[in-house]
Structure 1
Amino acid sequence: MNSILQISEILLGAIAGFIGMGWLGLKIKPASFPPHPEEPTQDFGTVELPENMPPQMQHYCHAIYGERIPKIESAAIWGRAKFKLSGLQTFLRFKTYYRQNEFCRYMELTWFGIPIFKAADSYLDNSGKMAGKGLVSFTETGEKIDQGATLNLWAETLVWLPAMLVNDSNIQWKVVDENTVGVGIPWRDRTETLWVKFDPQTHLISELFAMRYRGQEESKTSWKATGSNWQQFDSTKLLSPNVVRWEDEPTPYWIGNLDGVAYNVDISPKTLAEKVE
């Protein structure tokens, strides 16, 4: 009997050790994606801010770019994030490609630095999609995914790539007060709104929020992105880390840190989406 108990204790200890090692592997921060390989940032000249852009947004553009507002037609941004997966915090690395009105973010969940799960969320050809491949495979599409992906695209463009909005005549600006602006986005037969708050001292974005569908849930939930730390990447200030959460949850599901950015590079967001097909 004692031998059986000893063997049981050893087996239970081994199982606990394997579980602990498995969890530890997910907690190790992965290496960054390498810099965008094709080419460095290209200089396409400058653009003038439109007269109908609210002064809060104009101050923001000058705060991150300086006096010269660059012409940006595409961008690659990569980094690493702490991500909440089924209630547990783990790490992943990501690379996102942006072009006018489309984006795709490719992500890799790693175990001891080895990719074990690939995923992508995208807005391409006026449709949103979430897909995963590896430990489990899934694909989610539909109107609610479209709405969430649209808000993702516009929120990230507002924060990291506002110069891409300069020539977009579809935006409906609404000034709420001296530190708050609504950004109306025509989408299908209605308008979705992102609300942007600015720090009155720095003119930088401090908070961005909207009502968004969480996956396929029936009703919308308040969705918020915040941050206060701005880092210099080449000649541009970018928010890093950015913290994203659902208002009804106690902790954020995404805390993302940027590792690099390249502008006006020859990219196609579809090539990232194909990695998980």
Structure 2
Amino acid sequence: MFKVVVWLLVLGAFLYGGLLVPSAPYPASSAATEVNPLPLPADLPAPVERFFRKIYGNQVPQIQTAEITGLAHLRLGGIRFPARFRFLHRTGYGYRHDMEVTWYGIRIMTVKEVYAHGQGRMELPSGVTEKEPKVNQGANLALWAEAIWFPALWVTDPRVKWEPVDASTALLRVPFEDQTETFVVRFDPGSGLLTLMESMRYKAADSPSRTLWLNESVQWEPLNGQLFPTVGKVIWFDDRVPWAQFRVQHVKFNLSFAGGPGAEL
């Protein structure tokens, strides 16, 4: 009996050890072009203006495409797995998500999500989900929430509107089909940096109602010469714990996707 217990402990330690080995990151693209700045709009709510001046100063870049790569942890079946990610954006219109879950650095699961031309498609080991209105709604919210990595889009895209709430909160209105969706955006009163985005999102294609969806910016650090949210968490309110945590390592703007990943955008 003692030997059985020992072997079970050894096996458990071995299985758990694989969760502690980080994934190898995706290689970052080296091709990018200059961003042409525009003046910061003058009619922004006070906490929004403070945030953009802290990040960009008096001018904001025009960003048409973006590549964000880094490492992540994804909670699957209650277990926190290491992963790597590459997110490609045609800003304000579509994205491609590539994620690989690993164990001891070995890929054990691949996830691909594409949102293009108003349609979401998820490729999971369990199958493909597409042409689902509730998936499209969730994908569109992700499109705009992930602009935290290039927030200039929120003031350079004329379809986006800001509305004041109080000294540390504002509403972000973004387009979806023939209507708008709303984020409640919260800023740190001390630093002025964005800390949380809240929206109501369908959790799955068959969800009967929307669930509060939280996007938390945990850590801001200098990256490529400006303050950047290098660590972020995604939380479904009813789960109480993050289902994903992302640590950004590289970001490139205004690169071409022609002939490679992202061409479908």
Question: Which bracket does the TM-score occupy, shorter chain normalised?
Answer: 0.7 to 0.9
Aligned match for 2:80, one of 86, 89, 108? 89
Amino acid at match of 2:212: S
d(CA) in 2 for partners of 1:171, 1:75 = 18
What does residue range 59-78 of structure 1 map to in structure 2 within 5 Å?
59-78=50-69
Amino acid at match of 1:169: P
Q: Are 1:74 and 1:97, in contact at CA under 8 Å, matched by a contact in 2?
A: yes
| Partner SS state of residue 60, structure 1 | helix
Deviation string, structure 1 residues 40-71 (Cα, Å, up to 9, x no partner): x4223211223444343232222122344222
Q: What is the CA-CA distance between 1:186 and the residue it aligns to?
A: 2.7
TM-score, length-scaled by structure 2: 0.88
Matched, 1:118 2:106: no
d(CA) in 2 for partners of 1:75, 1:190 = 25
Aligned match for 1:246, one of 229, 233, 236? 236
Matched, 1:175 2:164: yes
**Corresponding residue for 1:192?**
181
d(CA) in 2 for partners of 1:33, 1:223 = 27
d(CA) in 2 for partners of 1:255, 1:118 = 17
d(CA) in 1 for partners of 2:259, 2:71 = 19
**Corresponding residue for 1:32?**
25
d(CA) in 2 for partners of 1:82, 1:269 = 30
| Partner SS state of residue 152, structure 2 | helix
Aligned match for 1:127, one of 112, 119, 126? 119
d(CA) in 2 for partners of 1:144, 1:107 = 22
C-alpha spacing 1:176/1:243, structure 2 compared with 1 (3 Å) = same
d(CA) in 1 for partners of 2:154, 2:259 = 18
TM-score, length-scaled by structure 1: 0.84
Q: What is the CA-CA distance between 1:246 and the residue it aligns to?
A: 1.0
Q: Considering only aligned residues, what root-mean-square deviation do their CA atoms show, in Å?
A: 2.5
Aligned match for 2:216, one of 211, 226, 230? 226
| Partner SS state of residue 131, structure 1 | strand
C-alpha spacing 1:25/1:228, structure 2 compared with 1 (3 Å) = closer
Q: What is the CA-CA distance between 1:242 and the residue it aligns to?
A: 0.7
Identity of matched residues, %: 29
| Partner SS state of residue 250, structure 1 | coil
d(CA) in 1 for partners of 2:128, 2:12 = 28
Q: Are 2:235 and 2:242, in contact at CA under 8 Å, matched by a contact in 1?
A: yes
Instruction: Pick the structure with more strand per residue.
Output: 2
Q: Are 2:230 and 2:249, in contact at CA under 8 Å, matched by a contact in 1?
A: no
Q: What is the CA-CA distance between 1:191 and the residue it aligns to?
A: 2.1
d(CA) in 1 for partners of 2:236, 2:260 = 28
d(CA) in 2 for partners of 1:16, 1:267 = 48
**Corresponding residue for 2:227?**
237
Q: What is the CA-CA distance between 1:36 and the residue it aligns to?
A: 1.6
Q: What is the CA-CA distance between 1:250 and the residue it aligns to?
A: 2.7
d(CA) in 2 for partners of 1:272, 1:169 = 24
| Partner SS state of residue 137, structure 2 | helix
| Partner SS state of residue 24, structure 1 | helix
Q: Are 1:104 and 1:273, in contact at CA under 8 Å, matched by a contact in 2?
A: no
**Corresponding residue for 1:98?**
89
Q: Are 1:122 and 1:273, in contact at CA under 8 Å, matched by a contact in 2?
A: no
Deviation string, structure 1 residues 169-200 (Cα, Å, up to 9, x no partner): 22232211121111122322432111101112
- For structure 2, the 5+ residue unaligned runs are none
Amino acid at match of 1:146: N
d(CA) in 1 for partners of 2:168, 2:259 = 33
How many residues align structurally? Answer: 261
